[in-house]
């Protein structure tokens, strides 16, 4: 049988599996299998040559039983409604597992930001917000950055929204630059949260991170900071890294500063010369202690899961491991830490940003990190304790299924108490 790779179908399959094990109410299950609201918009943008080009955009509110929708906006040439629906479902589970007062949502625009100049990008960002402005707001649905969207884009969006509603509405979006009241620590928060999970996972696996070798797939916001923080925080060595054009591997480790310089000058990580060139697929199969998929979906599938040699898989991207691969990794005894736990640091600090915006009182960076650590460690323990509870009932479940049981259970309870079923 060919493995299902449609991300929305995957998100439904993961939910179905957890629903069966936890004995989820049928109506709650049906409500949680589909988004609550899907919006598709057509966004016109005046291009540099005077012509007007239209872009298709989406905003999906998956569930808001526990609070306003929350989730990023992606600008990507291969964006699709199904990807955005899947990502909005994963945001629902992410905010629930972290136990923060939000539901889940996601947005996206089909475009290639690398082909747009700054004026076009600003215009697209502002016009997209105009198109969806009735669907969002600090108490309705709060966007944030994701693949190929930046703090600058968040600032334009906040400005556009504030103009539309006629007041300063900083809390309508998170991941803003600190000059317009983004939170300290937001930029590297996804990677930081992932490192707290790695610290706890390593304890469980009795892996000394000081001597650990790490391979990172992806060198965007999450991957780049993961590299920097992994070395600084734990003394581990990053021996391989990649981006969309391919990867590099050096047994003795890769020098972060030199790599950043090489990538800036040459456009990709392979511009770093003191390492061997490898493919993105080869990177995942390296003989290392930890692999960190920090790029896109469906990277570890039934096809390559058996070839993974690492002790820990830290899913910093959204959806990098398919359900079939999750099962294989679990059977092989590899500790695969699920995406909506590992990369929850981003949305947790987004929550701090929203809270600070509403209070008008701002926290120091170390306050942000220590509160983030507390929440991520609590989520990790919730997942591992649930896995243990089921094991005591002689039901063996992967950390992903355990995470689903915790997250889905909380959303279902909120829906029940509110009277949705």
Binding residues vs ligand GLU (CB under 6 A) = 70-72, 94, 144, 146, 174-175, 318, 343, 346-347, 350
Strand order in the sheet with 312-314: 276-278, 246-249, 237-243, 213-217, 290-293, 312-314, 335-337
Shortest Cβ distance from residue 174 to ligand GLU (Å)? Answer: 5
Q: How far is the CB of 391 from ligand GLU (least distance, A)?
A: 29
Give the pair of three-digit tokens for residue 258.
Answer: 């030199």
- Of 87 and 275, the one with the shorter C-beta distance to ligand GLU is 87
Sign of the Cα torsion 319, 322, 328, 330 reads: positive
* Alpha-carbon separation of residue 83 from 9, 80, 272, 343, 351 (angstroms): 10, 5, 33, 17, 23
- Kindly state the smallest distance separating residue 20's Cβ from ligand GLU, in Å: 26
Catalytic member of 106, 213, 263, 311? 106
Cβ proximity to ligand GLU: between 144 and 286 the closer is 144
Q: Tokens 């089909």 — which residue?
A: 110
**Quick check: helix, strand or coil at residue 40?**
strand
Q: What is the closest distance, in whole angstroms, from the C-beta atom of residue 340 to ligand GLU in the complex?
A: 8
Nearer to ligand GLU (CB atom), residue 181 or residue 249: 181
36 catalytic per annotation: no
Smallest distance, ligand GLU to C-beta of residue 105, A: 8
Which residue, 226 or 288, has its beta carbon nearer to ligand GLU? 226
Cα separation, 331 vs 310, in Å, equals 14
Query: In whole angstroms, what separates CA 354 from the centre of its chain?
Result: 18
Closest residue to ligand GLU in the complex (CB): 72
Q: Which C-beta is closer to ligand GLU: that of 187 or that of 330?
A: 187
Residue 99 per-residue DSSP state: T
> DSSP letter at 342?
H
The catalytic residues are 106
């Amino acid at each position: 049988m060919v493995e299902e790779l449609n991300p929305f179908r995957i998100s439904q399959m993961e939910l179905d599996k957890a629903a069966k094990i936890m004995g989820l109410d049928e109506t709650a299950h049906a409500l949680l299998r589909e988004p609550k609201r899907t919006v598709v918009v057509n966004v016109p943008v005046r291009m540099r040559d005077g012509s007007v080009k239209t872009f298709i955009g989406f905003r999906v509110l998956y569930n808001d039983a526990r609070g306003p929708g929350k989730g990023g906006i992606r600008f990507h040439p291969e964006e699709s409604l199904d990807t955005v629906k899947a990502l909005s479902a994963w945001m629902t589970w992410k905010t629930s597992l972290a136990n923060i007062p939000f539901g889940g949502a996601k947005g996206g625009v089909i475009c290639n930001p690398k082909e747009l100049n700054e004026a076009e990008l600003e215009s697209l960002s502002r016009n997209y917000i105009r198109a969806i402005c009735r669907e969002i707001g600090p108490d309705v649905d709060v966007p944030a950055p994701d693949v190929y969207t930046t703090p600058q884009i968040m600032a334009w969006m906040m400005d556009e929204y504030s103009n539309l509603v006629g007041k300063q509405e900083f809390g309508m979006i998170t991941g803003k630059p600190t000059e317009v009241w983004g939170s300290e620590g937001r930029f590297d928060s996804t990677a930081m949260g992932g490192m707290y999970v790695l610290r706890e996972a390593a304890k469980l696996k009795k892996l000394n991170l000081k001597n650990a070798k790490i391979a990172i797939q992806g060198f965007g916001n999450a991957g780049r900071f993961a590299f920097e923080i992994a070395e600084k925080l734990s003394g581990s060595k990053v021996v391989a890294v990649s981006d969309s054009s391919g990867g590099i591997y050096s047994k003795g480790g890769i020098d972060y500063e030199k790599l950043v310089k090489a990538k800036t000058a040459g456009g990709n990580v392979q511009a770093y010369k003191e390492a061997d060139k490898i493919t993105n697929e080869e990177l995942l199969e390296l003989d290392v202690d930890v692999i960190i998929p920090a790029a896109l979906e469906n990277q570890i599938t039934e096809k390559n899961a058996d070839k993974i040699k690492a002790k820990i898989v830290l899913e910093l991207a959204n959806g990098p491991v398919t359900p079939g691969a999750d099962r294989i990794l679990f059977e092989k005894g590899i500790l695969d830490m699920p995406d909506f736990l590992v990369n929850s640091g981003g949305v947790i600090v987004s929550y701090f940003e929203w809270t600070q915006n509403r209070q008008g009182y701002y926290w120091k960076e170390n306050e942000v990190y220590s509160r983030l650590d507390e929440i991520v460690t609590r989520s990790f323990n919730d997942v591992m304790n649930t896995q243990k509870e089921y094991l005591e009932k002689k039901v063996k479940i992967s950390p992903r299924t355990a995470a689903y049981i915790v997250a889905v259970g909380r959303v279902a309870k909120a829906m029940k108490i509110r009277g949705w079923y």
